[in-house]
Amino acid sequence: MLIYIIKRLLLLPFLLVVFSVIAFLLIQAPPGDFLTSYIAELAASGSSMERAQIDALRALYGLDQPMYLQYFKWVGRILTGDLGVSLDWQRPISQLIGERMGLTLALGLGTFVFTWLIAIPIGIFSATRKYSFFDYFFTVFNYFGVATPTFMTALVLMWIAFKYYGVSVTGLFSAEYIDAPWSWGRVADLLQHLWLPVVILGLDGTARLARVMRANLLDELKKPYMEMARAKGLSEWRLVMKYPVRLALNPLISTIGWYLPLIFSGSVIVATVMNLPTIGPMLLRALISQDMFLAGTIILFYMMLAVVGTLISDILLAWLDPRIRLDEE
Amino acid sequence: MTNQPLLEVRDLQTVFELDEGTVKAVDGVSFDVYSGKVLGIVGESGCGKSVTIKSVLRLIEEPGRIANGAIRFRSKILGNSSNDMIDLVQLPAKGAQLRALRGNEIALIPQEPMAAFSPVHTIGNQLIEVIQLHQPVSDEEAKKIAVTRLKEVGFPNPESAMDRYSWELSGGLRQRAMIGMALTCDPLLLIADEPTTAIDVTTQAQVLSLLRKLQQEHQTSIIFITHDLGVIAQLADDVVVMYLGKVMESGPVDQIFHNPQHPYTRALLRSIPTVHTKNRSRLPTISGSIPHPFQKRTGCPFVARCQEALPQQRCTNQTPVLKAINKHQSVSCFLHEEEVNAC
Ligand SMILES: Nc1ncnc2c1ncn2[C@@H]1O[C@H](COP(=O)(O)OP(=O)(O)O)[C@@H](O)[C@H]1O
Ligand code: SF4
Ligand SMILES: [Mg+2]
């Protein structure tokens, strides 16, 4: 088990190098260097930058040097913890991301927990009561969940909330708490706002996950070990939870890793629609305004999440499934 | 006591209601199992052996159901007095009473031990589970019982085997573990469904002799299912010969082997390879194939393949019923009805 994890960890640095190259290429992708386009933008809006400041930035990013040197400079700065400055926001990138990290995480984890807590029981009930009213009800419900785009759900729910209850449910805080320091009142206010985006973001995933869980479990329920467990005298409920549910969950757990970056990136549209102060909309804005260092950093962050997520999945799966664990050793 | 059966199956009919029609997988089967004795059920693949014993355990699932018949079992825990027989067909399928019997008084050794063990739980876990299900013992005690059982069924290293997974074991050990699991609660009746088909011949012989030894030590009654008459000869006291969901012939093992009365039994016996068979490469098999289960059945189920079918279409138009031809032996064939009538 330990060897298995170490093997995976050894792969990490290599992957990070590959990802950083990709992120860097992305930063370089727009024509011209970003500084030129930024200056042009400033000029267009009537303001300008001092010659000295421009030169300082040029030196910092090594814009006169060959591409690979620029890359090493960038990586070097990241390794020392300096993510650079967003030209668009005129603020350090680490600050910008840090500010939004907590809320993004709260939203992401909330959505994740919501999805699994709802989807797995639905999947289990649907499979064990196949073709019952309950099963059909959730089949229809799930199709709606999968077929409706999340931003659509968001718009409809926001409209309903506004029209019938007269509340604006955009953002994650009420007006009086937006810039207030953290307090219990602010936490309570956050929770009051958080549940709606969590539900909206979660519905889509819940529907998918419940379908997969149902299909996996139906496969397992046909296996001979079921009959053996019954022949031992186990009650139906106990045996379903102990054997087939466990086996049906294993392949799902290997997908947990993919959820991690998805929850951060997948929420872009909904978060924009609902005006949520999370990382997703910031990436969108950075891409639109060609604030490429900010965009590149966020993308690098997403890719790191994917790696970490996969690692978590691998470890979980090895821990749950002795066939994988013992095979690797 | 020994003359009273432990299990009486009477006119059991188990059907599967499929879209294409109703399959009568078991069609009027009767037999008795006596305490301390081994009953062998033999017949070609698909003749309804597994469905019969799944009916006894009440494990038939939708779209199947027991349509008719009685399965009377002399249970110690469910009966009021030692003479009570309980009709398992009358008990609620998912009820606590049946669960208390299963794995406890009636245990199963399945056809494929590989598939019957959970791949993600250890052997020990699955053994302890069944022990604690039926006996109020602590984890420690349950573990001790489990280790003792594994030792009894011939595990060289029972303690370490507790932490192994079924797929880490050889086929023979896996089936030994299954036998150990079936015997943990000292069942009155052990049902073994082709327990040696999944393992090689040498191991097969070892597992059979182990079963025989344990059976004699514990005086367990066994229903032993196989398509191999050779195995029956080694193990069984009584034999039931099945064909297409019906009993063709039943009786003591000596009678079945030395004085077979049904044309199907005779055909089966001819198909056993023996050391006396001269040309080993050309074993006699039963000619013809088993009719499709949906095929409408009139007449004797064996008529299409019977070499002794009677003239005047009797075998084709009428269905023979199982009749006792002497004190021990019963046969379902018109050849013998004539004899009985003639006497
Ligand atoms: N789950 C099922 N659904 C439909 N038909 C079944 C099912 N199980 C068994 N049968 C029918 O019962 C017949 C007997 O099967 P089985 O008892 O498994 O034979 P065997 O003697 O080889 O153990 C089969 O030929 C099949 O037609
Ligand atoms: S009843 Fe007729 S067809 Fe059937 S086994 Fe006897 S002789 Fe053969
Ligand atoms: Mg079978």
Q: Rounded to a whole number, what is the distance in Å from the CA of B281 to chain A's nearest CA? A: 36
Of B108, B129, B168, Cβ closest to residue A231: B108
Residue A13 lies in a domain: no
**What confidence tens digit (pLDDT) does each residue in A11-38 have?**
888 888 888 888 888 877 777 666 777 7
For residue A222, give every residue at least 6 positions away whose Cβ sits within 8 Å of its Cβ, in sequence order, or none.
none
B266 and B203 housed in the same domain: no
Interface membership of B269 toward A (CB under 8 Å): no
Q: What is the pLDDT of residue B281?
A: 45
Is A326 in Cβ contact with B59 (below 8 Å)? no
B184 and B306 housed in the same domain: no
Q: Per the structure, how many domains does chain B have?
A: 2
Is A243 in Cβ contact with B59 (below 8 Å)? no
B130 and B186 housed in the same domain: yes
Interface membership of B116 toward A (CB under 8 Å): yes
Residue B256 lies in a domain: no
Q: How many CB atoms lie within 10 A of CB B241?
A: 26
Structural domain that includes position B233: 5-243
Q: What is the pLDDT of residue B1?
A: 46
Ligand 2 binding pocket (C-beta < 6 A) is: B 263, 300, 302-303, 306, 308-310, 315, 320, 333-335
Cα separation, A221 vs A182, in Å, equals 49
Residue that has been written with the tokens 């000292």 in this structure = B186
Give the mean pLDDT of B175-200.
Answer: 92
Residue A190's H or E segment, with its range, is helix A184-221
- What is the Å distance from ligand 2's center to B197 Cα? 30
Q: How many CB atoms lie within 10 A of CB A295?
A: 27
**What confidence tens digit (pLDDT) does each residue in A41-92 have?**
777 777 777 777 778 777 777 777 788 888 888 888 888 878 877 877 888 8
Please report, for the domain that includes residue B232, its CATH number: 3.40.50.300
In this structure, chain A runs to a length of 329
Please report, for the domain that includes residue A168, its CATH number: 1.10.3720.10
Start-to-end CA span in chain B (Å): 34
B116 and B199 housed in the same domain: yes
**What confidence tens digit (pLDDT) does each residue in A248-300 have?**
998 898 788 777 777 676 677 888 888 888 888 888 888 887 787 888 888 88
B225 and B96 housed in the same domain: yes
B26 and B122 housed in the same domain: yes
Q: What is the pLDDT of residue B150?
A: 96
Q: What is the pLDDT of residue B280?
A: 43
Q: What is the pLDDT of residue A328?
A: 58
Q: Per the structure, how many domains does chain A have?
A: 1
For residue A92, say if its preceding peptide bond is cis, omega within 30 degrees of 0: no
B24 and B128 housed in the same domain: yes
Nearest CA to ligand 2 atom 8: B309
ipTM: 0.89
**What confidence tens digit (pLDDT) does each residue in A185-237 have?**
888 888 878 888 888 888 888 998 999 999 999 999 999 999 999 999 999 99
Q: Which residues of A touch B108 (CB under 8 A)?
A: 228, 231
Of B94, B100, B110, Cβ closest to residue A228: B110
B174 and B321 housed in the same domain: no
* Residues of chain A with a CB closer than 8 angstroms to some CB in chain B: 223-225, 227-236, 242-243, 246-247, 250, 320-323, 326
Whether the CB-CB separation of B15 and B23 falls below 8 Å is answered with yes
pLDDT-derived band at B266 (thresholds 50, 70, 90) equals very high
User: Dihedral of CA B187/B192/B193/B196: which sign?
Assistant: positive
- What is the Å distance from ligand 3's center to A321 Cα? 30
B233 and B326 housed in the same domain: no
Residue B331 lies in a domain: yes
Q: Indicate whether A119 pLDDT > 90.
A: yes
3-state SS, residue A168: coil
Q: Global pTM?
A: 0.84
Q: Rounded to a whole number, what is the distance in Å from the CA of B116 to chain A's nearest CA? A: 4
B159 and B232 housed in the same domain: yes
Whether the CB-CB separation of B116 and A228 falls below 8 Å is answered with yes
Structural domain that includes position A251: 102-292
- Ligand 2 nearest-atom number relative to CA B262: 5
Residue B145 lies in a domain: yes
Mean pLDDT over each residue of chain B, to the nearest integer: 88
